[in-house]
Each structure stands twice: as C-alpha cells, then as structure tokens.
Amino acid sequence: MAPILLNCMGNDHNEYIKESVQVKNPYLDDMEEDILYHFSLSTKTHNLPEMFGDIKFVCVGGSANRMKAFAQFIHQELNLSGNPEELRDICEGTDRYCMYKVGPVLSISHGMGVPSISIMLHELIKLLHHAQCHDVVLFRLGTSGGVGLAPGTVVVTDKAVDYAFRPQFEQVVLGKVITRSTELDEGVANELLQCSTELQNIPTVIGNTMCTHDFYEGQGRLDGALCSFSHEEKLEYLRKAYEAGVRNIEMESTVFAAMCRVCGLKAAVICVALLNRFEGDQITSSHDVLVEYQQRPQVLVSHFIKKRLGLVVCNLLVAFCFKGFFSCNFSYDTRRLLKKMDCLDMFLVMIVLSNNI
C-alpha cells in the first residue's frame, strides 16, 4: 500500500529521523540497577521498554487530581478501549507523584516549584531513556498569573525567563553555578498556536513566561505573610516584565525548559492565566469558571496530540469520502491504520467498514 505523504511527527524533513532521549550522565551505564525512587519503579523490577517504549507524548502538571483528569480526558479523546475511570496510577507505591499511561501518552504530576518538578524530570528522563523511547514531545500544562492578559487566556511559552527576564536557568552544582538555556522548541509552539485557531473559546498567545521561586514575594504579591515593597513598586516591576515580553508568571518553566533542551527533548509550556496581575493578586473567579479555565490547556494539547497521530486528518478524509461518516466512532487502532493507507485503499476499507456498522 502506498503511504499517504503525512509526517505525523512534524513538518521538518529531518524529523523523520528518530530522536532518542539523551541522558547526560556516563555513570548510568555502569549501574546494575537504576531505582527511580520517587516513581516506585526500577530497571531491575520493571520491564521499562515493554511498559513505556511506545510513549510519544508526556504531559506534566502540578496537581495530581488535574493530571488524573487529563489522563481520563485523553483516553476518551483517543477513543481507547476500557473504562477511563479505572486507569491505574503507576506510581501508587509512592505519594510523591502520580503517573497514568494512556496509549502513547504519559500523564504525570510534578508538584509545585522548581525543586519538585526537577526531581520528577530527572527520573522521567531516565525512564524514557531506559524505555528506549524516541521522538517524544513533553508538555507542561498549568495555571499562571497573566501579565496584561484577560483571565482565561492560554499562554504558549516562547522563552522561559528568570526574575531578571533572562532566558536561563541557574543550577548550583558542588557550590558552583551552572547556567543553562531555557529556549523551547519554536516549531511545537507554533503548532500549538495553529491548533488554538482550530478550536473554539481558547484564546491563545505566544509569549515569555517568568519563573519565580515562590508564589508570593517572588511574584510581587501584596497579600503574603511578608511584603517589603509598595504597590507602585509592584506595578513598575510588572511593567518591566511586560516590556520584556513576559505574559505570565509561574514556578516551574525554567528548569523544565532547561532540562528538556539539554537532553534533546522537544518541549512546550502551556499555561492558562487565572487573573491579570495588573488588576490584583488574589484569584476571585468562581470554582466553575476556574475549572473551565484549567481545562483549556488540556483541550489544546489534546488537539495537538490527535493531529500528530493523524486522527484529525483521518476524520477529514473520512468525511470527504463518505458523507456522514465523520460521526462514526472509529477506534484509535482503526484510525492509525487508515492514516497509513492511500486514498484508494482507504476508500475500499471504508466500504467494508460501512457495511458492518
């Protein structure tokens, strides 16, 4: 069968080449066993290639409940078999993080702040390496404070910047400061922006994301237990941030971007703004509104994943070939098969399918 000329891993020609995870630690090769302690996994007690070798997309977020909800959501979006309510937490042996595998998607919580996500990323990247994964894209899905944006706006990060608006992450190693770049994959960001135009009610912009050390003083909030600055000083700092291209503030993006970049992983940060920090510090929207806001990055990334897997394309081809066929409930495996066929082969297969529906 002649394949459809469709690159589900992106538009660049060299992206057809498998891109492996690049761990930067020569000592790993000499270890008889690598214990991923905070995941309750090990290279000796678990067959990691068998468990995770087909992973193509990793979605991480701070809240365990939110990442469980995302796993259930993407399960439905990919039309996988089984009950999404019965997904098992792979990390149930520990209370640090949660992890759910849904087809080619891994959904993991990372807690709050750089230290928590850093620990998770070390073990996640080693997991992907041991599982011999390739062509993996990582996403951080989260919430943030907007800078000059209306609440509910989704920000796809261009560069993750520090408190001085520099695109870098500083890691102290053996008493010395190591500086790493925090630039993210431009192609993935642009794909996400394009995806947002194909969806309703998900206003999306690309901008810089400032990563801070804490939620209160580090973000210039006036409502913490400590406050050593004035309202005017806060607004002046936010104005400087806006002029530097910052459109939102959170607490994990710099280390996420830096570690993914060093290890050769394409990555994106997608966070929804819960408020405009020029207008206040406290989050006052209703619970229902906040839940809907928090779902926006999930819906956007889900659409991205479906396009990369060819599921959206297959729906359009089916609709073109058979009027009304768009509504048919094709399984994930069936759509993957259709994606690999040329139009004539697909036409013949759909005739058979239509006679059995």
The three-point CA angle 136-139-145 to 5° equals 165
Q: Residue ranges of the alpha helices (H) in the chain?
A: 48-52, 64-77, 114-130, 186-197, 231-243, 253-262, 287-308, 311-321, 332-339, 343-354
Q: Are 165 and 208 in contact (CB under 8 A)?
A: yes
For 117, residues 6+ apart whose C-beta sits below 8 A from its C-beta are 60, 62, 110, 111, 140, 252, 255, 256
Contact status, residue 15 vs residue 88, Cβ threshold 8 Å: no
37-57 b/e with 16+ CB inside 10 Å = b? ebbbbebeebebeeebeebbb
182 marked among binding-site residues: no
Ligand-binding annotation for 124, yes or no, is: no
The span from the CA of 23 to the CA of 9, in Å, is 22
Residue 247 counted as an annotated binding residue: no
Was 219 annotated as part of a binding site? yes
Q: Are 216 and 175 in contact (CB under 8 A)?
A: no
CA angle 51, 104, 343 (to 5 degrees): 135
Instruction: Please tell me what DSSP assigns to residue 246.
Output: E
Is 140 annotated for ligand binding?
yes
Nearest to 221 by CA among 209, 233, 211: 233
- Please give the Cα distance from 215 to 157 (Å, whole number): 19
Known binding-site residue numbers for substrate: 219, 221
Known binding-site residue numbers: 96, 140-143, 219, 221
Known binding-site residue numbers for phosphate: 96, 140-143
